[in-house]
Copies of this chain bind each other. A is one copy, B any other.
């Protein structure tokens, strides 16, 4: 199985992306290093790079604000309120890793698709992962950490 070599990010659902980014900057000194809108997932997101990792990547906080009421993050907020939405592990081969994890009986939620900063991602069913919605991430490129 392709190895999982880092905590890639922690995804945090929020109602107001800009206010939450300000909170992380003012409280901890964490800066937004990337923003984008993912239409497919229905979110506006901000990536805050926290540290580099010894696989040549980096660990981020990912702040997520829904852009429509039927997005998964909007439903999460309606049910659970603001807080940690998912965690993500980095691998060099998300398709291979997802196939191997699937063979272990964990439900993989869809084929690899585009995530933050051009990465390839998929998700694992939280009911198969001890209540933790878990994302698998293959970065778009190596030299600059995550991206």
Contact = CB atoms under 8 A, between A and B. Distances in A.
Q: List the number of copies, as a whole number.
A: 2
Interface of A is mostly: mixed
Name the residue among A27, A61, A89 with the largest chain B CB count within 10 angstroms: A27
12 contacts: A3-B29, A4-B29, A6-B51, A7-B50, A7-B51, A23-B129, A51-B59, A53-B59, A59-B59, A82-B130, A82-B131, A82-B132
Contacts of A1: 29
Contact of A7 (B59, B126, B129, B130): B59
A140 to B, nearest CB: 19
A73 interface: no
